[in-house]
């Protein structure tokens, strides 16, 4: 038996019981709201947890990259939503190969994107489902108005090999009401135009406990971070530190001054994501410590507020600001239960940049 603090550092620890509890709680909330759950695997990047999410009731998974879709299809996942515009011949060919073996749907927010899909998928007997991505306040991808959504849906429907799958949005955090309003207007417009909207899919962990509100208009919900939670979700009120399943185990390698500790986890372990927060993470064993600065391989802790201070060689656990990109930095994660190492898994979908 290996205790978690015997694992060489830096390393990712996943508390299995916490992750499992997070999965159950979200599935339950979705069930109660009458929403289908389609978790985003970008957070864990592991077939192990993707399969578990489906076992617990998810209707399928969400991926952001073709490379992630390929890994998950290889691992036996059969119902995928790829929430990213697929542009260019190389990617369209990969999408086609995926579509030949699993149920995969995609999004589009422009006629250019739809034209690429329409040129690749031409078989009316084996259509590709395409959601219209809607910018409901995030200011990223998406058509800018319900009228534009309707127009693009008509373009999709005019292509023999494509099928209009519904509306998709990633709402800005805290703006779920604004997103619901946008989608309601769109749905009304579509129905007035005689077009059924088969599904409306929304997402985001920060607002997932308002799923009941989302259910007034949406049919599917795509949370990602909820499986592990992190410091930004605690700040957003979506979780407590006791819900956080992912920590980065680090070692104190230097204590140059009374109030400074240097750990072996920098941006290459924690990323430099701040997400509006001050400091680079929460130290479980020393909650008063501030992770004041990161360079690539060093983290600088300010211990001014700590009554007790860690010594050289001591290990600490850090709840990162943003857990999703952290799993992208490690080849392996360590699954832990009651402080004991259960299994080490390769992060199979790590680094799937395209």
Nearer to its own copies, 36 or 42 (CB): 42
* 335 within 8 A of 349, measured Cβ to Cβ: no
Short-list 235, 240, 242, CA closest to 277: 235
Nearer to its own copies, 79 or 314 (CB): 314
Q: What is the DSSP letter of 272?
A: S
* 271 within 8 A of 325, measured Cβ to Cβ: yes
1 binds its own copies (CB under 8 A): no
The interface mask with its own copies, positions 237-276, x = CB under 8 A, is --------------xxxxxxx--x-x-x--xxx-xxxx--
Nearer to its own copies, 11 or 211 (CB): 11
Stretch that binds its own copies, among 172-180, 232-240, 279-287, 289-297 (CB under 8 A): 289-297
Q: Count Cα atoms within 13 angstroms, Cβ side, for 100.
A: 7
Which parts of 218-237 interact with its own copies (CB under 8 A)?
A: none
For every residue of 69-114, DSSP letters joined together read: HHHHHHTT--EEEE-S---SHHHHHHHHHHHTTSEEEEEE-SHHHH
Number of C-beta neighbours around residue 128 at 10 A: 23
64 binds its own copies (CB under 8 A): yes
Which of residues 143, 218, 316, 318 is near its own copies by CB under 8 A? 143
Stretch that binds its own copies, among 8-16, 47-55, 150-158, 177-185 (CB under 8 A): 8-16
Stretch that binds its own copies, among 9-17, 25-33, 195-203, 212-220 (CB under 8 A): 9-17
Q: What are the Cα distances from residue 148, in Å, to 154, 155, 186?
A: 10, 11, 9
Short-list 218, 291, 166, 244, CA closest to 35: 218
Q: What is the DSSP letter of 253?
A: E
331 binds its own copies (CB under 8 A): yes
Q: Which residues bind its own copies (CB under 8 A)?
A: 8-11, 42, 64-65, 84-85, 87-88, 90-91, 109-110, 112-113, 135, 139-144, 251-257, 260, 262, 264, 267-269, 271-274, 295-298, 300, 311-313, 324-325, 328-331, 351, 353-354
């Amino acid at each position: 038996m290996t205790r978690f603090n015997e694992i060489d550092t830096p390393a990712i620890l996943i508390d299995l019981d916490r992750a499992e509890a997070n999965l159950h709680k979200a599935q339950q909330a979705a069930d109660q709201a009458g929403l289908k759950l389609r978790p985003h695997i970008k957070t864990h990047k592991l077939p192990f947890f993707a399969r578990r999410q489906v076992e617990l009731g998810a209707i399928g998974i969400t991926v952001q990259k073709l490379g992630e879709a390929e890994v998950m299809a290889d691992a036996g996942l059969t119902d995928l939503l790829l929430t990213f515009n697929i542009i260019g011949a190389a990617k369209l060919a990969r999408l086609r190969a995926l579509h030949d073996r699993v149920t995969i749907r995609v999004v589009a927010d422009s006629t250019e994107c739809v034209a690429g899909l329409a040129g690749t998928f031409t078989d009316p007997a084996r259509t590709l489902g395409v959601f219209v991505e809607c910018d409901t306040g995030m200011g990223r991808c998406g058509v800018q108005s319900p009228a534009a959504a309707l127009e693009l849906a008509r373009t999709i429907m005019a292509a023999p090999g494509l099928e209009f799958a519904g509306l998709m949005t990633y709402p800005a955090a805290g703006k779920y009401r604004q997103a619901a309003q946008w989608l309601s207007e769109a749905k009304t417009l579509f129905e007035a135009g005689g077009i059924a909207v088969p599904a409306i899919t929304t997402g985001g962990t920060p607002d997932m406990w308002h799923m009941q509100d989302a259910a007034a208009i949406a049919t599917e919900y795509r949370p990602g971070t909820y499986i592990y939670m992190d410091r930004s979700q605690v700040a957003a009120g979506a979780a407590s530190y006791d819900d956080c399943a992912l920590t980065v185990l680090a070692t104190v390698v230097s204590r140059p001054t009374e109030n400074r500790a240097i750990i072996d986890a920098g941006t290459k372990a924690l990323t430099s994501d701040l997400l509006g927060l001050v400091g680079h993470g929460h130290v479980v064993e020393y909650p008063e410590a501030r992770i004041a600065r990161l360079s690539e391989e060093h983290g600088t802790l300010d211990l001014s507020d700590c009554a007790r201070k860690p010594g050289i060689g001591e290990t600490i656990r850090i709840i990162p600001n943003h857990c999703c990109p952290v799993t992208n930095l490690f080849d392996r994660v360590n699954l832990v239960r009651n402080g004991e190492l259960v299994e080490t898994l390769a992060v199979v979908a790590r680094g799937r940049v395209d």
